[in-house]
Structure formats: C-alpha cells, structure tokens
Structure 1
Amino acid sequence: MALPPKFAAHRLAFGQLVAKTEGVPPTPHTIEVYLDYACPFSAKIFNALLTTVAPLIRSNPTWASQAQLIFRHQIQPWHPQSTLLHESALAVNQVAPDKFWDYSRELFAVSQQFYDVNVVHETRNETYARLAKVAGGVGVDEAEVLRRLRISDKPVDGAYNAGNETTADVKTVVKMARLTGVHVSPTVILDGVVAAEVSSGWGEGEWKEWLTKNIV
C-alpha cells in the first residue's frame, strides 16, 4: 500500500535503491509492520526491528539496496488508550517528523505506564500530558505536542465532538489498516502479502533466515 507523503517519516530506507532491470525504476521489497503502542508483542517486535532487523539489512549491501521498512498504525480499540498513544505519535510526526522513530522507541519502552491499569483513573487530557512529556524527553516540543492533543471542554465552533489536531490523521491510518484486513498486532506484510510466519519472538537467526529467503 502507498505511503501518504505526510507520513514519509514512517518509512525506514537503508541505502540507495538499485533497479534490477535496466530501464525499469527501482522497486524495493516493502516490509510493513502493523503495530499497536498498547500491545506488549508490538513492543517486542519493534525492538527487534531496530536492534536486529535494521542492522542486518544495513550490513548487507544487497538487502540495503532492495528493501524498505514502513511503520503502520494498528489501533486496537479494546484498549481505549491505544487511540491516545497513536494520536501522540501522529502529533510528533506533525511537529518533528524526524523524531518519529525516536519517539516510537521511547513510547514502546515506557508503554506499560499506559496500559489499562495505569490510565483507568486519569482523564484523557491527563494521559495526553504524560504522553507529551515522553515526547519532550526525545527533544520534541512538549507544549506543542500537548496543544495538538488536548480536547476542549467547550464546544469548538458549535461542535461537541470536534476531536483534536490529530483526528484527521487517525482517520487516515485507520482506513489504511481496514483496507488490508489486518486484525492482530503485530502483523508483518511483505510486498502486500501477510507474512504470517513472522513472530515477535524471533531472534537474529530467524530474522536473518527470513531476510535471506525474501529479499532477493
């Protein structure tokens, strides 16, 4: 699936793309990973992507010239705060897109602080304030992130359900996930096809074997 330009920071490229056939534009293998910030298995595979998969690809010139990785938002509504966590990442993408991966890494690292039992007694805006502080910790303007997230307690131009400045982006990423039919988080899609064999429990050996088989 295409990546809208406003989400360009959700893509990890590893090197100069090389065309396999003369006269044909380079077309890399695309690894899309659908992740939920409120999911411990998503946290596990995200860490593997940064510490294992990306280094493996970068260390292999052929893979680096033939692959790209895309972060896809998979909001899981049985954890209501999942929406808030993804809104915060989308706010960071608006304010400082170059910090999207840094923020995602930090948010996954502290994600348990936003699991059900740790948000049940706070308001939506209180959760937003804590998320904005996480953004501030990776060098993003905390106040600006919070401004884009906060929900007014008064009607906005007569609307009682106006959302915040990330609402349009949330609608876009939710539509994109629905078009794929993805349900489970995490889910890996390779070149448009679900790679059901991929596990969040994989180590370097499994990932290296999978990349060797598929990035050719």
Structure 2
Amino acid sequence: MSVPPKFAGLKLTAASFQESHHTLELYLDYVCPFSAKMFNTFYELSPKIAAHYGSRLQVILRQHIQPWHPSSTLTHEAAVAVLRLAPEKYWEFSSALFKQQTEFFDISVVNETRNKTYERLAKIAGSVGVDEGKFLDLLKIPETPGENGQLNAGNKVTNDLKWIIKTDRVIGVHVSPTVFFNGVEERSISSSFTVAQWEEWLAKNVV
C-alpha cells in the first residue's frame, strides 16, 4: 500500500523522509470498455505527466480481472507474460490491447480455444516488440497430462497472476476502473475524464 509524502515518517528508514512522490494507481480490466476509455485518455496525457511532474508522481497500472468475462483472465495473463519478458513494454502493450479489446469480448471468443486466444494475443505482443515464441511458451496450456497425471496445472504465469489478484482483493477493489491516490480510493475520478479534467485534477492534487 502506498503512503502519501506527508506521512513519510510512517516508514522506518530515515531516507524515507526525503521521499516526495505521490502514487496514483489505476485498477483496469482489459475487456472493460470504461477501463479502455480511462486508459486511452490517460495514456495520451502520459508524456506531459512525465515531463511536468517527474519524481513527484508515480503511476501504477494495476490489473483488475473481471471474472464474469472469461477472456478477461486470458488478457491479463498476457500482460503478466509481457511483464515477465519485457516490462518496459507493459504500458505500450496495454495500449495496443485496449485498442483491440473488442476482439476479446465474450462473443468474439465464445467458439475459440484458450490456446487460440493466446495466439491472437501473441500477435499484439509481437506488434510492440515482444518475442511471440517466448510469450506463447509462458501462456500455452499443455494438451496432455503433466507429472503425476496433473490436469489442472495452469501455465507459467499462474503464480504471478495469483499475486496480482491478491493485491486487488486485499483492498477490496470491485468495479473497473477504480483509482487509488496515495493509498485511498479516489472516487472523484471518472472514466469519462477528459485530458483537461485530468490536468486540472493533477494540478490540484500533486503538489
């Protein structure tokens, strides 16, 4: 959980008193239209944020799976694979995936096997410079039983995904998008925020 700069004294080390960054956390789901709306606007603004706020603000894109859309899990596994292989491509991959999110909506995947969906996600990963072969190696589900007849072993990012889900649950995030600022839910921020509204909010709150 993040700590506001003015409460740096809560941390143990003396060096913590010198920290001055705020933390903005965006909990988004790759198959949620409202998440896409928020991400696309914020990402458009991100170069200005980096230039203007620098070390005063850190932004974290948190993955938030909405399990009533089964393909949500697969898209988030894909993002975890990118984090493993090329973390510097995470935001760029997220941008590409959000732009193509309708291709992973319920009706778009209903007659598709899980591994076939991974293959389509691999094309998106490849479009931002991630090795498609290594990507698929992390995600594909074996078609034959594993050791000791294991039938439900998941893939090579399953444990990472469990950690991401736990971080959501421990603070009770439910809807997407949800925004936290310095560890507290910031309900004034809407998915319909324009660039101008984001700029106004940031100018008021990141001081």
TM-score normalised to the size of structure 2?
0.90
Equivalence map 1:182-201=2 (5 Å): 182-201=173-192
Match of 1:204 in 2: 195
In 1, the alpha carbon distance for the partners of 2:203 and 2:91 equals 25
Equivalence map 1:136-215=2 (5 Å): 136-158=126-148, 159-215=150-206
Identity between Structure 1 and Structure 2 (%): 49
Contact 2:42 2:195 in 1 (8 A): no
Q: Which runs of 5+ in 2 are unaligned?
A: 3-7
Deviation at 1:55, TM superposition (A): 3.2
Q: Which runs of 5+ in 1 are unaligned?
A: 3-19
3-state DSSP of counterpart to 1:31: strand
Contact 2:81 2:138 in 1 (8 A): yes
Post-superposition, which runs of at least 4 consecutive aligned residues in structure 1 deviate over 4 A? 20-23
**Pair 1:96-2:121 in alignment:** no
Q: Deviations over 1:8-28 (max 9, x none)?
A: xxxxxxxxxxxx999722131
In 1, the alpha carbon distance for the partners of 2:69 and 2:101 equals 12
Higher mean Cα deviation, 101-110 or 153-162? 153-162
Q: Aligned AA for 2:156? A: E
Equivalence map 1:1-216=2 (5 Å): 1=1, 24-52=17-45, 54-60=46-52, 63-158=53-148, 159-216=150-207
Query: Root-mean-square deviation (CA), in Å?
Result: 1.9
Q: Deviations over 1:76-99 (max 9, x none)?
A: 000011000000010111111121
Size of the alignment, in residue pairs?
A: 197
Contact 2:20 2:55 in 1 (8 A): no
TM-score normalised to the size of structure 1?
0.86
In 2, the alpha carbon distance for the partners of 1:75 and 1:65 equals 29
Q: Aligned AA for 2:26? A: V
